[in-house]
């Protein structure tokens, strides 16, 4: 049974560029949440998708957007990248809106 | 609002020493409490959890008790091993929106 998978593992972008990160939830899960973990900090909640809609959002600007597909996989898009967007981006999936969350290994984004 | 305050690190212990990592929280409602562990270069792994007051979560020799009167969820282990070296995160889930709030993490290094 595959757990939560994320791609790519690492990537490097330049300021001002746009990036797309991908997440496949654990088998049987239908809800995906995204978190940003800056170096030396705890993860911060970005948003959550359920039934292909954004259900909750943390304190992140509109440059951060997402999407959930009919197969429950999800994308996180960040536009106009800033140096401060450099972080580990974690995806978590759950069964249902209130189900227990399982975390993926993360995508490390470096903005230069 | 919801927040978690965690003991500052880093913590360095000798093998077989006793470990305590303090965690206190502020929450609206009745949150669930968690400890996650993160090994270098990896995502988050659930270590233990407690869903209501006075519950004790335990796993791999680690324990934490949900204390509502002191709003605490301190992590303990009686005898640490080198393999326990990692970053430990205390977290709460508000249960109303299934959004995690994490502490800043405590880095533990166990030396032989």
Q: How many helices (H) does chain B have, and how many strands (E)?
A: 0, 12
The rounded distance, in Å, linking the Cα atoms of A102 and A93 is 5
Contact between chains at A90 and B99 (C-beta distance less than 8 A): no
Contact between chains at B100 and A35 (C-beta distance less than 8 A): yes
Under 8 Å CB-to-CB from B41, ≥6 apart: which residues? none
If you average pLDDT over residues B42-53, what whole number do you get? 90
Q: What local confidence, expressed as pLDDT, does residue A96 receive? A: 83
Q: What local confidence, expressed as pLDDT, does residue B17 receive? A: 98
Q: For residue B99, list chain A residues with Cβ-Cβ distance below 8 A.
A: 33, 45, 48, 56, 58
- Structure-model confidence comparison of residues B8 and A33, the more confident one: A33
Query: What pLDDT digit, counting tens, does each position of A28-85 carry?
Result: 999 999 999 999 899 999 999 999 999 989 999 999 999 999 999 999 999 999 999 9
B102's tokens: 């994490």
Q: Which residues pair with A78 in a beta bridge?
A: A19, A64
Q: Pick from A30, A19, A23: which is nearest to A7 by CA?
A: A23
Query: What pLDDT digit, counting tens, does each position of A27-38 carry?
Result: 999 999 999 999
A104's tokens: 């993926």
List the single range of A63-67, A97-101, B17-21 with lowest mean pLDDT. Answer: A97-101
Nearest to A105 among B42, B89, B102 (CB): B42
Q: What local confidence, expressed as pLDDT, does residue A104 receive? A: 93
Query: What pLDDT digit, counting tens, does each position of B66-84 carry?
Result: 999 999 999 999 999 999 9
Q: What local confidence, expressed as pLDDT, does residue B9 receive? A: 84
- Tell me if residue A75 falls in helix, strand or coil: strand
* A98: confidence class by pLDDT, cuts 50, 70, 90: confident
∠ CA B107-B57-A1, nearest 5°, is 85
Q: What local confidence, expressed as pLDDT, does residue A1 receive? A: 63
Contact between chains at A43 and B99 (C-beta distance less than 8 A): no
Contact between chains at A103 and B103 (C-beta distance less than 8 A): no
């Amino acid at each position: 049974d595959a757990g939560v998978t994320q791609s790519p593992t690492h990537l490097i972008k330049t300021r001002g560029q746009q990036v797309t990160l991908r997440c496949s939830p654990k088998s049987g899960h239908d809800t995906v949440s995204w978190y940003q973990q800056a170096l030396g900090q705890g993860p911060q909640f970005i948003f959550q998708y359920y039934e292909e809609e954004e259900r909750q959002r943390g304190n992140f600007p509109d440059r951060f957007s997402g999407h959930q597909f009919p197969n429950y996989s999800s994308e996180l898009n960040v536009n106009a990248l800033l140096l401060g967007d450099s972080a580990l981006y974690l995806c978590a999936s759950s069964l249902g809106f209130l189900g227990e969350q399982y975390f993926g290994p993360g995508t490390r984004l470096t903005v230069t | 609002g919801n927040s978690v305050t965690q003991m500052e690190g880093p913590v360095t212990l000798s093998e077989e020493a006793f470990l305590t990592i303090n965690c206190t929280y502020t929450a609206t409602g009745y949150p669930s409490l968690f400890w996650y562990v993160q090994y270098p270069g990896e995502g988050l792994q659930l270590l233990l959890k407690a869903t209501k007051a006075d519950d004790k979560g335990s796993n791999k020799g680690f324990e934490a008790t949900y204390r509502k009167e002191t709003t605490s969820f301190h992590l303990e282990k009686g005898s640490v091993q080198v393999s326990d070296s990692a970053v430990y995160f205390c977290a709460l889930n508000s249960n109303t929106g299934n959004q995690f709030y994490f502490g800043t993490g405590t880095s533990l290094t166990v030396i032989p």
